[in-house]
Amino acid sequence: MSPLTRSVALVGVPTDIGAGHRGSSMGPEALRVARLGERLAKRGMHVVDRGNLVGPLNPWLPPTDGYRHLDAVVAWNTAVHDAVHAELAAGHLPIMLGGDHCLAIGSISAVARHCRETGKKLRVLWLDAHADFNTSQITPSGNIHGMPVACLCGYGPDVLTHIGGTVPATSPDVFRQIGIRSVDEGEKRFVHEVGIDIYDMRYIDEIGIKAAMEEALADVDADTHLHVSFDVDFLDPSIAPGVGTTVRGGPNYREAQLVMEMIADTGRVGSLDIVELNPAFDKRNQTAKLAVDLVESLFGKSTLMR
């Protein structure tokens, strides 16, 4: 099926259980208010909104043994894993309406499992200001939204690394991290050690977003399942204030559009997380509207005469 006729399932994941600020639990509804479903339907996609997954409320406790809210994070991610795996098995393209970035543990472990079952090659494009490769030993905060990539590569508590049934869920070589500009000290050493492919803002400044994306998308072919994990803090805060963890010096509007357009050109997007949108920090829902605008581009809306 071509991406334009694909059936898309919107899956709300209203949680801030892994975050350092409350409020991303309101993200799914902000994306609906910004008309995500309607805009994708206009592009000719068949869109079904599954409503929201259900999980524990945020008790807002301090960390225990280097993790905050570990049991609740496991509950949310088990629900995400099961939902995403079922959608992919049914031939649908799941879009997670997050929710904080810990939900990628569930979604990507399900996508990796689906790829194993169908013989597809997985590539994950991690659009983010942060590497999200912390562990309980090196995390300054215990917030699990800073740990999903490490957990997916097998570095984390058993209850999280085992969610997809195979440990590790996937390997560092499937990831391409784009837009990175804030990495904790211990985390920096660890991502180098495991060899995650990182296109940080310094590199993007030096070679340009087009060349960086060409490298990140190299070798994507007809057998590739592309999963895009879009943390809204990837964007420069001047255009996207609605996140809890803004870091200045991110891609501007046109650079972000080009990233999405180049991913769309591959025609291989098979699943998507939209995470860390926090309406408590937003202004008149502008960040949600921008995220919807960019997701339209990710699914092929061209701004130019092409």
Active site residues: 101, 128, 130, 132, 145, 231, 233, 276
- The answer to the question of residue 101 lying near Mn ion (CB under 5 A) is yes
Write down the least CB distance from residue 101 to Mn ion, Å: 4
- Residue 102: which of 66, 68, 57 has the closest Cα? 68
**How far is the CA of 23 from the CAs of 7, 44, 127, 170, in angstroms?**
29, 32, 20, 30
Residues in 109-128 at the binding interface with Mn ion, rule: CB under 5 A = 128
Residues in 195-234 at the binding interface with Mn ion, rule: CB under 5 A = 231
| Residue 59 token pair | 């008790």
Query: Mind giving me the DSSP string for 59-79?
Result: -----BTTBSSHHHHHHHHHH
Q: Toward Mn ion, which CB reaches closer, 83 or 131?
A: 131
Q: Toward Mn ion, which CB reaches closer, 101 or 301?
A: 101
Helical segments of the chain, H only = 27-33, 36-42, 70-89, 103-118, 148-152, 158-161, 185-194, 201-207, 209-216, 253-266, 286-298
Write down the least CB distance from residue 119 to Mn ion, Å: 29
Interface segment toward Mn ion; rule CB under 5 A; list 64-72, 132-140, 236-244, 280-288: 132-140
Write down the least CB distance from residue 242 to Mn ion, Å: 14
- The answer to the question of residue 273 lying near Mn ion (CB under 5 A) is no
- CA dist 28 and 262 (Å) reads 26
| Among residues 16, 87, 100, 132, the one that binds Mn ion under rule CB under 5 A | 132
The SS3 assignment for 271 reads strand
- The answer to the question of residue 289 lying near Mn ion (CB under 5 A) is no
Contact predicate 20/244, CB 8 Å: yes
Write down the least CB distance from residue 233 to Mn ion, Å: 6
| Number of chain positions touching Mn ion (CB under 5 A) | 4
Contact residues for Mn ion, defined by CB under 5 A: 101, 128, 132, 231
